[in-house]
């Protein structure tokens, strides 16, 4: 059963349609669809104009001039209809998109494996039970004007992607499995720790492997940034040791490998314990933007509510 929630307030010039719903498992979703208000307005004006002409039946000179004037307008309208290239170009530029926010972040980590939320952000996208290929979504998006990203904050983690509308359903099904049944294989985690994971990008339909940085490399880059260094110094100077802000949220090889090993644990085991306990549908917020007749919300019904 889907519960309809109050629609959000929007600007008077906002042409989008919004519908907020809540699924049985507690997941709240905002569905966004675009309508061509200008086209609707033009059709309404054309209807009013034709009605005015139809009611002018006495044949006076003034009425004939009104009819002639309307005919000229119809010709202009037909010219626009016969040249739909601009509309097609505009439609072709439109994209479908999805975003998910999970109200779990680095504040929810255990001290013995700091950076676990950040590692989870990387790992859930590396294959699922339904789509075991680690690069399934990236390959699809790269071929269809798409892109994806994610980031971990203190109290939430956000994921999003965009793609050509005709591939939205396929991409959404792959992406939804991130939150439903990710594999998070041990060998994939080891490659994340070595910063040697691979994905494929498409250039003229030729796929080439590209090395990308992962959790440890992101830390190595960030520690050279003055703002990040300043934040870390402030944290260590003023935060109480038992406050979650005092933890090391970035994660690196030491916090994700050496520290767990020191207590006879592994990041892989801790991740599989942490994910199902924290990634619950009742603390997820989903946004989908697509045409109104193509809202594939049912795929998220299988998310677990804890």
| 231 shares its domain with 126 | yes
189 shares its domain with 238: yes
> For residue 278, is it within any domain?
yes
Spatial distance between the Cα atoms of 178 and 125, rounded to a whole number of angstroms: 6
Among 133, 117, 121, 145, smallest CA distance to 174 is for 133
CA 207 to chain centre: 24
Estimate the crossing angle of helix 116-123 against helix 215-222, to 10 degrees.
130
Q: Could you tell me if 129 and 223 lie in one domain?
A: yes
The CA distance from 100 to 120, in Å, is: 15
Same domain, residue pair 60 and 102: no
Q: Distance between alpha carbon 286 and the CA centroid of its chain, in Å?
A: 8
pLDDT at 285 over 60: yes
Q: Which domain holds residue 52?
A: 38-91
- pLDDT, position 115: 87
Identify the active-site residue in 138, 162, 192, 290.
Answer: 192
In angstroms, rounded to a whole number, what is the distance separating the alpha carbons of residues 8 and 99? 17
Residues 55 and 123 in one domain: no
The whole-number average pLDDT for the span 43-71 is 44
| Catalytic annotation, pick one of 109, 121, 136, 162 | 121
**Residue 271, in any domain of the structure:** yes
Average pLDDT over the chain reads: 75
Q: Specify whether 68 is located in the same domain as 185.
A: no
Same structural domain for residues 66 and 156?
Answer: no
My answer on whether 262 and 125 are in the same domain is yes
109 is a catalytic site residue: no
Confidence of residue 111 (pLDDT cuts 50, 70, 90): confident
> For 13-17, 87-91, 166-170, 236-240, which range has the lowest pLDDT when averaged over its residues?
87-91
pLDDT for the residue numbered 166: 92
Rounded to whole angstroms, how far apart are CA atoms 129 and 100?
20
Whether 21 is in a domain gets the answer: no
Q: What is the total count of domains within the chain?
A: 2
Question: What pLDDT, on the 0 to 100 scale, is given for residue 295?
Answer: 57
* 155 among known catalytic residues: no
| 102 plus 78 within the same structural domain | no
More confident residue, 207 or 299: 299
Give pLDDT tens digits for 191-244.
Answer: 654 543 333 333 333 332 222 236 656 666 666 777 777 877 777 788 777 777
Q: How many CA atoms lie within 13 A of 201 on its CB side?
A: 8
Give the 3-state secondary structure of residue 218: helix
- pTM of structure: 0.72
Q: Hey, which of 54-68, 152-166, 264-278 has the most confident mean pLDDT?
A: 152-166
Query: Which domain CATH number covers 235?
Result: 3.30.830.10
Q: Does residue 169 lie in a domain region?
A: yes
User: What mean pLDDT comes out for the span 115-132?
Assistant: 92
The b-or-e profile of 136-163 (16+ CB within 10 A means b, else e) is bbbbbbbebebebebebeeebbbbbbbb
Residue 169 has pLDDT above 80, yes or no: yes
């Amino acid at each position: 059963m889907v519960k309809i929630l109050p629609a959000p307030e929007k600007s008077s010039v906002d042409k989008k349609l919004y519908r907020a719903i809540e699924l049985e498992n507690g997941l709240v979703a905002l569905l966004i669809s675009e309508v061509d208000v200008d086209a609707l307005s033009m059709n309404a004006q054309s209807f009013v104009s034709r009605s005015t002409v139809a009611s002018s039946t006495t044949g006076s000179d003034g009425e004939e001039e009104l009819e002639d004037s309307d005919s000229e307008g119809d010709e202009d309208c037909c010219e626009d209809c016969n040249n739909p290239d601009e509309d097609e170009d505009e439609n072709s530029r439109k994209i479908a998109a999805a975003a998910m926010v999970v109200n779990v972040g680095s504040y929810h980590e255990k001290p013995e494996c700091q950076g676990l939320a950040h590692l989870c952000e990387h790992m859930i996208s590396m294959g699922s039970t339904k789509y075991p290929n680690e690069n399934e979504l990236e390959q699809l998006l790269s071929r269809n004007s798409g892109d994806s990203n994610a980031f971990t904050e203190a109290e939430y983690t956000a994921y999003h992607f965009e793609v050509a509308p005709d591939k939205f359903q396929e991409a959404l099904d792959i992406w939804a499995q991130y939150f439903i049944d990710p594999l998070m294989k041990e060998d994939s985690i080891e490659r994340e720790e070595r910063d040697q994971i691979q994905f494929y990008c498409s250039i003229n339909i030729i796929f080439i492997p590209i090395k990308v940085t992962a959790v440890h490399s992101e830390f190595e880059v960030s520690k050279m940034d003055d703002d990040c260094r300043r934040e870390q110094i402030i944290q260590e100077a003023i935060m109480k040791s038992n406050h979650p802000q005092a933890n090391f949220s970035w994660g690196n090889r030491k916090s994700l490998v050496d520290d767990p090993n020191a207590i006879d644990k592994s990041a892989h085991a801790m991740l599989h314990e942490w994910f199902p306990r924290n990634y619950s549908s009742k603390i997820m917020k989903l946004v989908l933007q697509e045409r109104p007749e193509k809202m594939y919300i049912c795929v998220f019904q299988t998310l677990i509510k804890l």
